[in-house]
Amino acid sequence: MSAAFAAVLAVTSSVVLSSPAHAAASATPGVVLFDPAKDKLFGSVTYNDFRIPSIVATTPSGGGMSTLVAFAEGRVDGSDWGNIDLVYKTSTDNGNTWSGIKSVLSGPWGGGTAENSSYGNPTPVYDPSTRKLWVWHMRTNASKTSIGSLEKGDRVLALAYTTVNADGTPGTWTFSHASLAGLQATQPNEGGNWWDNVGPGNGIYMRDGTMVVPGRNRNIVSTDHGTTWTSVPLNGTSAHTDESTVTERTNTDGKGTLYRDDRATTTYWNGKRLHSFGSENGGFSGFTASSVSDPSNGPGITPGCQGSTFRYNFAKSGGNDWQRMLFLNPSDPVQRHNMKIRVSYDNGVTWTAGRLLEEAGHPSGWGTGYAEGGYSSMARTDEPQVGVLTEAWRPSSTWFIIFRKLNLAWITQGTTEPTPPPQ
């Protein structure tokens, strides 16, 4: 194994190098990373909103500090429909500074070369063995204005990928649409329309090299580093979930199973998130109410909204350490407010009460009427800290994206973690 690849595995598998829960608590108020008031694509294209964030860590070819790549939807008209570009920024110094805004896909309204479609729901996964960054997303007919109007072919899975540069930043993007026919939805959903989803948020690179990307009622899986992808149905589950997350769990044999924690569909929502357990080969049990909850709200009581999961670390082999998963979403039972980050020490069966992100403070210029809450995504930096993207909005009804860094001691508020099981 090369030194560079070993360094990559330390990031993608999030190996704990010290005792982070006993470090000094650290959190930043954050910065406005995607800002409609400032960010112009190609120097001239303006956006009413930036929404639906995702973030992933890559690595330079010679090892060293990870590179963060943050994605978002650039919404020209401030709508879920119409003119939407897929844009990104990069950081090569753990998120302390960021590049200008760049385009993965931009439609003709912005001088881009892509067809007249909306490009959204970025869901990246990075393969350290090939140094390829895969960005799954949804391509939607830009002339459509409602879910009910969607016909077959109006909203489909799409894929952009690149081999990262020597510094870990994306290279030239390649787009694959025609080869994805076998991965698309094969029938209308329970609402009788052709609404489909991937993520949004993150796919995962498992310890055995399998890549898994969460989709509506299925996982998109590659066991050959992206040469081929397969749609794997969530066997035995109901069809009542929509926006989805996936995280690798830990097994005693060293090969993980999978955890899904998904947003329920509008018709089935009733304030609950739904979760299930299975593997990359399927075998998922039926979805039940997620244990992500505030004690006062009951199991999985949340607003109808995306959430994000993240494998913070696997326990050290032969050591005496915790394994941790993180979950982030709005904790208010009705509105997309009160973003809370929680820890699970038992592979998603139970979660801590969590901590509100707003306790870290807000970016400079935060004003009256501003609010934070909505979609989110997480990745590890090298400090080690958790890099977090969240949505926020101004009274003028424009959405923007905040980037923060939090360490584990801040998330756990310095409390003593459970005694880890013997390894």
201-226 pLDDT per residue, tens: 999 999 999 999 999 989 999 999 99
- DSSP helix/strand/coil, 182: helix
Q: Which amino acid is at 336?
A: R
pLDDT number for residue 35 = 97
pLDDT at 95 over 90: yes
Tell me the per-residue pLDDT of 14-53, one tens digit each, with 9 for 90 and over: 333 334 455 677 999 999 999 999 999 988 899 999 999 9
Residues in Cβ contact with 322 at an 8 Å cutoff, skipping those fewer than 6 apart: 21, 313, 315, 345, 417, 418, 420
> What does the alpha-carbon distance between residue 125 and residue 48 come to, in Å, rounded to a whole number?
28
pLDDT number for residue 123 = 98
Query: Which residue's entry shows tokens 């904790």?
Result: 331
Show the tokens assigned to 299.
């199991």
| 227 within 8 A of 198, measured Cβ to Cβ | no
Show the tokens assigned to 111.
């001088």
pLDDT number for residue 55 = 98
| 383 within 8 A of 369, measured Cβ to Cβ | no
Instruction: Report the DSSP beta bridge partners of residue 89.
Output: 70
Residues in Cβ contact with 417 at an 8 Å cutoff, skipping those fewer than 6 apart: 21, 322, 345
CATH architecture of the domain 3-411 equals 6 Propeller (2.120)
Residue 191: CB atoms within 10 A of its CB come to 14
> What does the alpha-carbon distance between residue 215 and residue 242 come to, in Å, rounded to a whole number?
8
Q: What are the residue ranges spanned by the domains of the chain?
A: 3-411
Q: Which of residues 343 and 236 earns the better pLDDT score?
A: 343
pTM confidence score: 0.91
pLDDT number for residue 16 = 33
Residues in Cβ contact with 299 at an 8 Å cutoff, skipping those fewer than 6 apart: 272, 289, 290, 291, 293
Instruction: Report the DSSP beta bridge partners of residue 383.
Output: none
Q: pLDDT class for 110, splitting at 50, 70, 90?
A: low
> What does the alpha-carbon distance between residue 389 and residue 373 come to, in Å, rounded to a whole number?
10
Q: pLDDT class for 280, splitting at 50, 70, 90?
A: confident
